[in-house]
Chains A and B, each alone.
Chain A
Amino acid sequence: MKIERLDLQNFRTYSYTSLQFGPTLNVLLGQNAEGKTTILEAISMFAYGRSTRAKHEKELIQFGETQSQLRILFHRNGKQMDMAMKILEKGKQIKVNGVSKKNLSEFLGQLHIVFFTPDDLQMIKLGPDERRKFLNLNMGQFISGFVHHLRTYNQLLLQRNSLLRMRQFDPLPVWDEQLSTVGGVILSQRDQFIQELSFHATRIYKELSNQKETLSISYKTGVKGSNEISYRENLFEQLRQSAHHDVEKGFTTVGPHRDDLLFYLDGKPVSRFASQGQVRTVVLSLKFALFEYIREKTKELPIVLLDDVFSELDLSRQKHLLENLHGAQTILTTTDLENRLKANLNGKVFKIAHGIITVER
């Protein structure tokens, strides 16, 4: 998979800009707050369907404008793809190869990315929200219907919680039935995804840490089960049993919205016992595992986005990173070229200053 071109209009600080990417390495060079990450954010919108940085999509529209437009041209399985997104103050419009798509489910699954950001480190230390976000965004990239199920689930959850706050038990089963149907799908898909990811991550951690420790990643959910049917049946039963408890709490205490992803090194929780360096290697392993997962599932190399993380790695990890990308198209941001020299990078360099992009080489 290769991105050829990205056009932005009225997107954050950019009035208009167009970038033509090289086939392998692309370096976005510039000082902080000049708009490097914005480029990566724009690309990620086509894979995730939403921004990971903005709370409200309105923030993405350049100040004083009413709409923002993004367009990306890329190759996928040898086919030319053209995706466009128009962000309006209320909602957005999406097109794939010139055809308007009504819902996000039809839009996702075209472009696949692995996004490394400095925030990843917090994913281990902070609450489960961040880890669920990692699961949701990345599963939404290629598991068809996942985003739709997640949305339906969240809407059902809001309805059930409203009932709980009104202390009404009678109508709960009709919501529990739908919640467990959709929830069962989400639970079994997450279970499957984490199992496959964990397999890759353990192997990669071994390579990165020179066989020192063993990383294991496990799925933590309050719902018992092993497949869609058993998850569905158990979730329904557990929702029924927790009804009184939930009314007291004022929200639903069981279900996939309470899931978590746990990391262990030699059996010890990473969040509590690992050093900063170990945490960094765990996160790298996780992202590489995602890279391998996508490569296996789609038989193609995903696009790799590295936001300011390259400079934080020591030389051997930088080398490992680049060698293990198998020539995948990579777009990285950095504030100085020293790091590029360290690892002998060859690629296209874009200089970014005050929202203006010039190609250096």
Chain B
Amino acid sequence: MLQFPEPILRLIQQFERLPGIGPKSAQRLAFYVTTMADEQVQEFAQALLRMKQELTICEQCCAISDRSPCPVCGDPLRDRSVICVVQDTRDMLAIERMQAYDGLYHVLGGAISPMDGIGPDQLHLRELLQRIANEQVTELILATNSTVEGEATAMYIARLAHHFDQLQVTRIAHGIPVGGDLEYADEITLKRAMEFRRPI
């Protein structure tokens, strides 16, 4: 039986390691690479390598960035008294896109999940506590995901943060998406939105 040539097999295996790529997709991608021009393949390989080489972790907020401090932490116009805590750098970029938040961030690098062996020590929590202790922080906004792990992480941080006087700890709101029709919201979301309603 004819097997895949060894070089293709090697590439297929590499593609399969990526999230969301199964054996079939990996084969399709690998065979597509055989049709690409040499320069294109060079560029692709370089892009992979350079991304890894040129990226760093911001020494202040722990976000993945091309410099440290990252553009947000290095921006003198930012409000340094507010820190928004997120699970990963993509969450930070999502909040940045809204262009209405001018405080700082802190990227945890995940959420507490004992099943996956991720405890408080595996997250960038020590860095966060140091920042609160050393800088003039007045508010901590907990913007972890609304999953059981995200909630547990938020609660854990809230408990730690209560040791600091003068620090207000808030949790982002959960409920009906803006522009969403009530009738299409699922019951769990609706229930939550009702529970956390507020006077206007």
Q: Is the CB of B152 within 8 A of A178?
A: yes
Q: How far is the CB of B19 from chain A (nearest CB, A)?
A: 15
Q: How many residues of B contact A (CB 8 A)?
A: 18
Q: How far is the CB of A142 from chain B (nearest CB, A)?
A: 13
Main secondary structure of the interface of B (DSSP, over half): helix
A-facing mask of B173-200, CB < 8 A → 1, else 0? 0000000000000111001000000000
Chain A neighbourhood of B112, CB < 8 A? 171, 174
Bound Cα distance from A145 to B156, whole angstroms: 26
Interface size bracket, A side: 20 to 34
Bound Cα distance from A144 to B155, whole angstroms: 27
Q: Is the CB of A174 within 8 A of B113?
A: no
Chain A neighbourhood of B186, CB < 8 A? 102-103, 105-106
Chain B neighbourhood of A158, CB < 8 A? 115
Check A159/B149 contact, CB under 8 A, given A106-B186, A145-B187, A166-B114: yes
A171-226 contacts to B (CB < 8 Å): 171, 173-175, 177-178
Q: Chain A residue with minimal CB distance to B154?
A: A174
Bound Cα distance from A159 to B151, whole angstroms: 13
Q: Does A32 contact B (CB under 8 A)?
A: no
Q: Does B71 contact A (CB under 8 A)?
A: no
Q: Is the CB of A159 within 8 A of B159?
A: no
Q: Is the CB of A168 within 8 A of B119?
A: yes
Q: Does B103 contact A (CB under 8 A)?
A: no
Q: How far is the CB of B195 from chain A (nearest CB, A)?
A: 11
Q: Is the CB of B148 within 8 A of A155?
A: yes
Check A162/B115 contact, CB under 8 A, given A103-B186, A145-B191: yes
Q: Chain A residue with minimal CB distance to B113?
A: A159
Chain A neighbourhood of B152, CB < 8 A? 159, 171, 174-175, 178
Q: How far is the CB of A167 from chain B (nearest CB, A)?
A: 11
B114 touches which of A102, A106, A159 (Cβ 8 Å)? A159
Check A163/B114 contact, CB under 8 A, given A145-B188, A171-B156, A173-B159: yes
Q: What 7 pairs across the A-B complex have the smallest Cβ distances?
A: A162-B114, A174-B155, A163-B114, A174-B156, A162-B115, A174-B152, A144-B187
Give B contacts to A, CB under 8 Å: 112-115, 119-120, 148-149, 151-153, 155-156, 159, 186-188, 191
Inter-chain pairs besides A173-B155, A174-B156, 14 sampled, C-beta below 8 Å: A105-B187, A105-B188, A106-B187, A145-B191, A155-B148, A156-B148, A159-B115, A159-B148, A163-B114, A166-B119, A171-B119, A171-B152, A171-B156, A177-B155
